[in-house]
């Protein structure tokens, strides 16, 4: 499986939207590995273009110096959040520039890129062409664009129009190329109007920060053309060979489906005679108090600060539990704190804490053996295994938020088992030793099963929990017979039991 994220614009520091997408893709990569797939996970940064050139100018730096600085911010956030791509591509790397040059050359040679004139309204202040979308109802242009002039430029065009019918037919026949499917309908809607050819170059005089066209030194590539090809550069060996391309699952946000990934990209692949991508997984947008996250309104959320305060895993869990993949969600710090305290610390953390300490107290720190499960035990095992199967099915259907809900049903059932069987009472009666063994062993087994799965969402915590349970080694791919009840736990010594989600400073203060 070749799995990619969008490559983020390197013109500012990372925000919640960037962090969500990378955590989501990292989780999908870990889950796919758990199910036995081989995965190549690619992420990176989009470092060319007008926005970067302008931000660098404002910061008084050269564009390269500027993006080098930004790339450190992204890399350190991914490290903190345990987002671990196999390859991190920056579009200013030599391997990528070489590949883009080769692609331009090939498409030019075969007549898919042609010279033409571009006519449009240009804002001198913003140094960009404006589209009809930007025009105000009365026909004027917004103040921020300053003087707007009509300009004609010699440019190069990619012959998108040639592929329109082919693309429409492809999406009609295979709507499952796009998840959720309602996004395929949106794309088909956009394909009803005739597609204009795509202007893929800018005169160097206007935009210097880009990859030069091999056949015209006065022009550089349009940033989308450059950016989309990152997926080919980073495929396979990661050395920028066209032959390394493999159909990818592309994780992207809803704003870059039409036209970039839904129109330009499939047409580029077709023109290059490369196989189509496997899927576009289109996620929604985070808002705050139902409004767009935007620097200008101060409505930003710093994922690094949240991870520092609540822990990387609590952040990862929150964003995946809160957002239904494909739909928008509203960020709320209180709800993050509540999920950490409730589902993570109280339900999952406490289960380990109480199971571990009772195994310590009553069974000398070793997981007891169970000869034959009694009916209560059997019922409990069925509940847990059922929850695991549902989790698996929902994860495979990209319903991560619901999948986590299923896993938590297993956690809740284990807590209920302990409440119902009351090991502290069983321990007082020598005749109940078998029941006590079963209760402790069942809770430990359920925990192990859950932690091995939830490791794709909360990797650090899951590993810590498994170590406490005396689990040998690190979580790997499932056994063929998954899910079955662990039998090799009996006699295993637990590690030191410590809270998985310790109280936060403010929670301690509130307790006095």
> Contact positions toward ligand MSP, by CB under 6 A?
6-9, 17-18, 20-21, 46, 227-228, 230, 252-253, 255-256, 285-286, 293
Place of tokens 């199967």: 389
Compute the least distance from the CB of residue 258 to ligand MSP, in Å: 12
Could you give the CA distance from residue 223 to residue 6 in angstroms, rounded to a whole number? 13
Which of 255/506 has CB closer to ligand MSP? Answer: 255
| 249 within 8 A of 24, measured Cβ to Cβ | no
Compute the least distance from the CB of residue 19 to ligand MSP, in Å: 9
On the 0-12 / 13-18 / 19+ scale of CB atoms within 10 A, 141 is middle
Which of 207/256 has CB closer to ligand MSP? Answer: 256
Residue 79's contacts (CB-CB under 8 Å, 6 or more residues apart) are none
Which of 9/408 has CB closer to ligand MSP? Answer: 9
Could you give the CA distance from residue 482 to residue 406 in angstroms, rounded to a whole number? 16
Nearest position to ligand MSP, beta carbon: 253
Task: Give the phi and the psi of residue 253 in degrees, each rounded to 5.
Answer: -90, 160
Compute the least distance from the CB of residue 65 to ligand MSP, in Å: 20
Which of 9/380 has CB closer to ligand MSP? Answer: 9
Could you give the CA distance from residue 231 to residue 240 in angstroms, rounded to a whole number? 9
3-state DSSP assignment of residue 143: helix
Compute the least distance from the CB of residue 46 to ligand MSP, in Å: 3
Which of 232/451 has CB closer to ligand MSP? Answer: 232
Could you give the CA distance from residue 400 to residue 28 in angstroms, rounded to a whole number? 9
Compute the least distance from the CB of residue 381 to ligand MSP, in Å: 39
Could you give the CA distance from residue 112 to residue 403 in angstroms, rounded to a whole number? 45
Compute the least distance from the CB of residue 256 to ligand MSP, in Å: 5
Which of 19/351 has CB closer to ligand MSP? Answer: 19
Could you give the CA distance from residue 363 to residue 489 in angstroms, rounded to a whole number? 14
Could you give the CA distance from residue 238 to residue 477 in angstroms, rounded to a whole number? 25
Half-sphere exposure in the Cβ direction for 371 (13 Å, CA): 3
Which of 293/402 has CB closer to ligand MSP? Answer: 293
Tokens representing 443? Answer: 């809770």
Which of 42/500 has CB closer to ligand MSP? Answer: 42
Compute the least distance from the CB of residue 8 to ligand MSP, in Å: 4
Compute the least distance from the CB of residue 82 to ligand MSP, in Å: 19
């Amino acid at each position: 499986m070749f799995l990619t994220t969008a490559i983020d614009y390197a013109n500012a520091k990372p925000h919640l939207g960037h962090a969500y997408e990378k955590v989501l893709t990292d989780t999908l990569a870990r889950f796919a590995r758990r199910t036995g797939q081989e995965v190549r996970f690619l992420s990176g940064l989009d470092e060319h273009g007008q926005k970067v050139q302008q931000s660098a100018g404002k910061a008084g730096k050269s564009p390269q110096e500027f993006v080098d600085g930004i790339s450190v911010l992204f890399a350190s956030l991914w490290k903190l959040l345990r987002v671990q791509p196999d390859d991190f591509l920056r579009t200013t790397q030599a391997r990528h520039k070489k590949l883009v040059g080769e692609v331009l050359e090939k498409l030019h040679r075969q007549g898919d890129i042609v010279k033409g004139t571009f006519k449009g309204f240009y804002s001198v202040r913003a140094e960009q062409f404006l589209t009809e979308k930007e025009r105000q109802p009365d026909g004027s242009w917004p103040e921020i664009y300053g003087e707007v002039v009509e300009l004609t430029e010699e440019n190069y065009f990619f012959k998108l129009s040639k592929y329109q019918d082919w693309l429409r037919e492809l999406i009609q026949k295979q709507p499952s190329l796009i998840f959720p499917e309602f996004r395929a309908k949106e794309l088909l809607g956009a394909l009803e109007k005739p597609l204009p050819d795509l202007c893929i170059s800018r005169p160097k005089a206007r935009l210097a920060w880009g990859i030069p066209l091999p056949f015209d030194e006065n022009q550089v590539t349009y940033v989308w053309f450059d950016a989309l090809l990152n997926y080919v550069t980073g495929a396979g060996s990661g050395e920028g060979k066209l032959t390394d391309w493999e159909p990818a699952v592309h994780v992207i946000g809803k704003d870059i489906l039409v036209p970039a990934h839904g129109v330009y990209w499939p047409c580029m692949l077709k023109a290059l005679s490369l196989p189509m991508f496997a899927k576009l997984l289109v996620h929604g947008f985070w808002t705050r108090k139902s409004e767009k996250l935007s620097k200008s309104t101060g409505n930003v959320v710093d994922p690094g600060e949240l991870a520092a305060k609540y822990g990387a895993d609590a952040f990862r869990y929150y964003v995946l539990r809160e957002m239904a993949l494909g739909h928008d969600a509203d960020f709320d710090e209180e709800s993050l704190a509540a999920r950490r305290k409730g589902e993570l610390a109280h339900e999952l953390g406490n289960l380990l804490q109480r199971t571990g300490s009772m195994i310590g107290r009553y069974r000398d720190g070793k997981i007891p053996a169970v000869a034959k499960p009694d009916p209560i035990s059997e019922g409990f095992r069925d509940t847990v295994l059922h929850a695991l199967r549902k989790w698996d099915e929902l994860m495979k259907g990209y319903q991560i938020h619901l999948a986590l809900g299923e896993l938590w049903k297993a956690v809740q059932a284990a807590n209920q088992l302990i409440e119902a069987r009351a090991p502290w009472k069983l321990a007082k009666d020598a005749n109940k030793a078998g029941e006590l063994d079963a209760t402790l062993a069942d809770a430990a087994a359920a925990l192990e099963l859950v932690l091995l799965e939830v490791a794709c969402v909360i990797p650090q915590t899951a590993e810590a929990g498994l170590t406490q349970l005396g689990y040998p080694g690190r979580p790997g791919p499932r056994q063929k017979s998954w899910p079955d009840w662990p039998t090799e736990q009996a006699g295993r010594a637990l590690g030191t039991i410590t809270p998985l989600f310790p109280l936060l400073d403010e929670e301690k203060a509130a307790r006095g």
